[in-house]
Structure 1
Amino acid sequence: MALLVEPKTLVRRLTPTATKALEASVSRAANARAYEITVEHMLLELVSPPDGDAAGILHQFDQDRVRLVGRLEKAISGLRVGNGGKPTFSASLFQWMEDAWTVSSLETDATRLRTGALLLQFIANPGRYSAETLPELEAIPRDQLRKELGDIVAGSKESAEVGVAGPAGATASPGGGAPAMAGGVAQGTSENLARFCENLTQKARDGKIDPVFGRHTEIRQLVDILSRRRKNNPIIVGEAGTGKTALVEGLAIEIIQGLVPENLKNVESTRSTSKRTPRWPVASSPWPSTSPPRRTRCR
């Protein structure tokens, strides 16, 4: 099954602990000269630490963590080796991560993918990701784990690395405080955009977008359309390579430089990073949509 989210986007959503587990999986596979970094490599790194999410889950359901580590090490030792180059990631590994991220973000409003959520997803459907028989994981009741996961991993060191859900889906850091507001929108809403989109306005603030030359007329046309109360939905059309994204990047630069009307100064330009939807740049009007899109053509 094809991935709907870019692998690099999934990796950016991992907690630091989960990221270290993935890095350790890569190192283990490379040192063994394996051809692939597999689900079993990642599982081994999840269950090995005695103070991680996985250890807490196994302890809660009276399963032998050390025995499971041994099974995974044996499974990995049977993989084909002798690779003279860099190992590649198996498709199942990123499929597992994508499924876990989808469930975790939608069901619990998570803003980071923790190792406990990865293990829960594996236990929910082990045959989808691995052909290995792992009795210690198969013995864990998936529905009960889904209900109790938050309580089980509450004391894990990884809990400090993930956002805490607040009222109305807003999120706050574990340190507490009121949900942040960005441009009049609750942070919970901004987090949903951040999961699946690249913020071009923020890239402009960070100096990561080059100046756009020769497109002043088209950019001002975008500003004009977005500033209207009606007929305010621009669509940029043109052949590949004609500079459609450059227009929205130029708009982002003008926004952060304050070269736009007052009602556009807090507008964010974003671009989808998901494979499920076309990666078109989007600039949102501050006014409600009441009319068909207006087109700006790139030549």
Structure 2
Amino acid sequence: MGFNFNRLTVKAQEIVQSAIEITQNNNNQIIEPEHLLAAMLQDKSNIAYSLLQKTGGNIDNVKIKINELLEKLPKVSGSGIGNQQMSNSTAKLFDIAAEEARSLKDEYVSNEHILIALSEDKGNAGQLLRDNGISRNIILSALKDVRGNQRVTSQNPEDTYKALEKYGRNLNEAATQGKLDPVIGRDEEIRRVLQVLSRRTKNNPVLIGEPGVGKTAIAEGLAHRIISGDVPENLKSKQIIALDMGALVAGTQFRGQFEERMKAVLKEVQSSNGEIILFIDELHTLIGAGAVSGSMDAANILKPA
């Protein structure tokens, strides 16, 4: 029984389409693993490219060598162009990728699974990766770093990887790098926020006031205090992440996409064991945010959390 291409994630389908285009542009008739690897190296936005960077392998050399390998593949002309077929080794590659997805308890086959399968390939593409220090175990180690405990449960899993990094801004880092202005004259308010944050329950302070009076500045002042150690002992290791609602909502036109991103953010916050303080600027924007065709808005998703 052949591989079901409906099991591919959207990004994986894009890579396959890109590989077909590379095959056509190179006047090849057979789609080989080399074409898939070349497609992954072209698209810097996909997870496979991020993994290749994290492995510490020699990507520049891989890029040069893959083009040399493509040049050596048999070329066709005339009626043969545009009638691309998959080689047996490429078909087997997708079967191995499906096995990798199953072993990682993923529901869809994503680019990371195809990359792992490529690293085990017995042909030139796999050998090229291994020769440049990119093996299966190294990719799996990098994968754990990129996606943590997230699993591929939809066709857009990349939206949920490192969600806080994508949809949030670390105020501690910004304060360390001198990107936040010093806060003067808000000691009483900052002290009260620290008091509320230090409670065991009911520890979510909400800052209410007229526009421009300095509500956001209190969160920034808190970040300054944390990095300088001027906070109670229980708050010294905390990270303040400012949630970017614009980035969170952007591009979520279909039902379920926004909930997926929001839940990924909440999951990361919860799995930090209380080490992350989530700062939501303009709290009123949660009402109705991300609600399309009957799906829940951000406020309702946050309620149980």
Quickly name the TM-score band, shorter chain normalised. Answer: 0.3 to 0.5
The structure richer in strand per residue is 1
Q: More relative contact order in 1 or in 2 (CA 8 Å, sep 6+)?
A: 1
User: So what's the TM-score if we normalise by structure 1?
Assistant: 0.46
The structure richer in helix per residue is 2
